[in-house]
Amino acid sequence: MAFNVRFYNFQKETNSTAVPEPLAPETTRATYACEALDPMSLAAPVIKVLIPMSANIDFNYMYVAAFNRYYWITDWEYRDRCWYVSGSVDALATYRNQIGDMSAYILRSAYEYDGAIQDNFYPVKAQWSVSQTAAGSPWEYGSRESGCYSVGIISAGGVTNFWLMSRATLEEMMAYILSDDYAAEVLTTLGITAYPEAKAIIDPLQYIASVTWLPVALGDTLLTNIKIGYVVKALNVRYANPSVPQSYTLTFSRPQHPETGNRGAYMNINPYTRLSLFVPPFGVMELDTTAAQAAASITAVIKIDMCLGNGALEISAGNHLLSRVCGRVGMPVQLSQVIAPGYGILSAASAAAGIAGDIISGNYGGAASALASGVGNAITGQIPSANTVGSVGSIDALTGTPKLQAIFGIPAADDLAHRGRPLCAVRTIKNVPGYLLCADVDVHIAGATGFEMDMIKAAMESGFYYA
C-alpha cells in the first residue's frame, strides 16, 4: 500500500494540541511517497519511505493522511537501501478540534483565572514588607486643661448623678466644698451656727462618689444647680447620661498586598497578609484577613461610658465584625480631705441637738460642758485622718497614634504560561487557550482508539496546552 506522508520540522510541547498546518513554512516540510509494512501499528507505525539515502530526513513530525493522524517521529533507520521512519501517535494534535469542543472542569488556566481563589502552589519567601495607615487620635491629653471630668455626686435620696465639667469648674467646686462658706452653710442648714468649731468634722467628700478624667472634649455646658450634700451650688456642667455612651469613629484605609493586582485578591489574606490594629488604650488586635480581604477600609468605633470612663472598641470591615474589646478609657482622680476621725455630719448634728436641749431647759452649764466634751474633745483630743475618694491613674495607655498595620509575605515568582492560576470552573476548552489543568475528564471521541482516549485524558488531567 503506497501513500504520501508529509514531514515537518515542528517545534512544540509534547503535551500541546498544536498542529503544523498552516504554521510551518515551506522550508520546514516535505512530502514523500511511502509504503505501509505488514503488519503495522496505528499507534506506533514503522513506515518505509521511498527516498534515496541522501534525501533530507531532518524532520521530527509527520502527518499521515491515510491514517488521519499526526505522529511524533521517534527514529529514522536506513536498511536494505531504504529509509524507515518510526512514529508515535500525537493524540492531542490528531483530535485537536474534538478536544476544543469538549467541556471540562478546569482547575488551573493561563488564560482565565479567579483571583479570589487562593493559589497554594507558590510558597511564601522569608521576605516581608510592612505598610501602615493612620487615623487621628480622638483623645485629648497633654495639657492641664485637656479633656473633661466626670464627677459622681450623691444627690437627694442617695442617687448618684454624673456631671461633666472642666478642670476649672472641678477646682471651683472643690474650693467651695472645702471652704468655710460651705461649712457655714451646712451648719446653718443643720441649725448649729452657734458652734463654728463643728466645721472641722464636716466631710463633703462623702457626697462625691467618684471623679474620672476623660480624654475627650467637654462640649457645651449649662449653668446648673447641683446639690452637694446639704448645699446647692451653681456650676457650668453637662449631664452624663449613663444609658447613652459617647461614640467616636476611626476609619483606616486598608493597605493592599503589592501582588494583588497581578495575582488576585487572595493575596490579601493569610498567609500572604497579616493585619493588626493599634488603638489606644485598647492595645494591638490581630484581625481576620479572610473577613476583611474585600474591604477597602477598616472601621473602629469607640463607645465610652461618660460616667465612669469604661470603653468598648468594635472593629469591622463592611458588614463583618472583626473584633470587640473592652477597656478603661478614663483615668480615676484622687481627692483628699483631712477631717476629725470618728465624726461626720450626723454625729455633729446629734451632739448639737443635745446642746440645744440644755439651752432650752436653761442648763447653760450643761450646754457649755457638752460643747467642750462633744465638740472640743473631738477636735483637739484625737488625731485627724485623711478621707480619700478615687485612686491615682496614668495616661500612658492613651498615648500613640491609632494605626492599621499590614505585613505582606512575598510569594515566589509564578510561571503563568506553564502553570496557570486557579480557575475552578467548567469551560469549553477552545475558549480558554494556553495551559490548562482539568479534573475528572470524560473523553468520548468517535474514531479514536481506547489507547488514544486514555492518552488525551491523562494529558488533560496532568496539564496540557490547547493551541
CA atoms within 13 A on the CB side of 65: 11
> Under DSSP, is residue 116 helix (H, G, I), strand (E, B) or coil?
coil
222 and 178 within one domain:
yes
**From CA 190, how far away is CA 188, in angstroms rounded?**
5
| Position 257 in a domain | yes
318 and 357 within one domain:
no
| Position 143 in a domain | no
Give the pLDDT confidence of 277-286 residue by residue, as tens digits: 999 999 999 9
336 and 232 within one domain:
yes
**From CA 61, how far away is CA 86, in angstroms rounded?**
10
Nearest CA among 334, 342, 404, 406 for reference residue 374:
342
Specify whether the backbone of 400 is left (phi greater than 0), alpha (psi in -120 to 50) or beta.
Answer: left
**From CA 107, how far away is CA 122, in angstroms rounded?**
15
**Residue 369 exposed, middle or buried by CB count within 10 Å (0-12, 13-18, 19+):** middle
Distances (CA, A) of 240 to 151, 218, 222, 237, 248: 9, 11, 12, 9, 16
3-class SS string, 76-105: EEEECCEEEEEEEECHHHHCHHHHHCCEEE
Dihedral through CA 278, CA 281, CA 282, CA 286, nearest 10? Answer: 20
Structure-block grid coordinates of residue 55? 534525501
> Under DSSP, is residue 457 helix (H, G, I), strand (E, B) or coil?
helix
| Position 276 in a domain | yes
pLDDT band at residue 27, thresholds of 50, 70 and 90? low
pLDDT at residue 13 tops 90: yes
Residue 88 maps to which CATH number? 2.40.10
Give the pLDDT confidence of 91-105 residue by residue, as tens digits: 999 999 999 999 999
Structure-block grid coordinates of residue 132? 501602615
DSSP string, 344-383: -HHHHHHHHHHHHHHHHTT-HHHHHHHIIIIIIHHHHSS-
pLDDT, residue 336, reads: 66
Beta strands in 135-180 (DSSP E): 148-154, 160-165
| Position 88 in a domain | yes
230 and 157 within one domain:
yes
* Lowest-pLDDT range of 151-155, 251-255, 292-296, 384-388: 384-388
Beta strands in 59-206 (DSSP E): 61-64, 69-79, 82-89, 103-109, 124-134, 148-154, 160-165
pLDDT, residue 351, reads: 38
* Lowest-pLDDT range of 1-15, 153-167, 326-340: 326-340
278 and 232 within one domain:
no
Q: What is the residue type of 420?
A: G
| Position 30 in a domain | yes
45 and 17 within one domain:
yes
367 and 319 within one domain:
no
pLDDT, residue 96, reads: 98
Give the pLDDT confidence of 199-208 residue by residue, as tens digits: 667 788 999 9
87 and 42 within one domain:
yes
**From CA 305, how far away is CA 301, in angstroms rounded?**
13
pLDDT, residue 375, reads: 42
For residue 461, give its domain range. Answer: 97-121+414-466
Mean of pLDDT values over 222-239:
93
156 and 19 within one domain:
no
Dihedral through CA 184, CA 185, CA 187, CA 193, nearest 10? Answer: 60
- Total domains in the chain come to 4
336 and 318 within one domain:
no
> Under DSSP, is residue 207 helix (H, G, I), strand (E, B) or coil?
helix
pLDDT band at residue 397, thresholds of 50, 70 and 90? confident
Beta strands in 318-453 (DSSP E): 320-328, 331-332, 335-339, 385-389, 403-411, 421-428, 434-439
Give the pLDDT confidence of 190-200 residue by residue, as tens digits: 887 666 666 66
165 and 101 within one domain:
no
For the beta sheet containing 103-109, the strands, ordered from the edge strand earlier in sequence to the opposite edge, are 421-428, 103-109, 434-439, 464-466
| Position 348 in a domain | yes
| Length reported for the chain | 467
| Position 421 in a domain | yes
- For residues 430 and 98, the answer to whether their CB atoms sit within 8 Å is no
**From CA 41, how far away is CA 414, in angstroms rounded?**
42
| Position 303 in a domain | yes
102 and 89 within one domain:
no
**From CA 164, how far away is CA 150, in angstroms rounded?**
5
* Lowest-pLDDT range of 14-28, 259-273, 398-412, 451-465: 14-28
The partner residues of 339 in beta bridges, in order of sequence, read 385
- For residues 178 and 275, the answer to whether their CB atoms sit within 8 Å is no
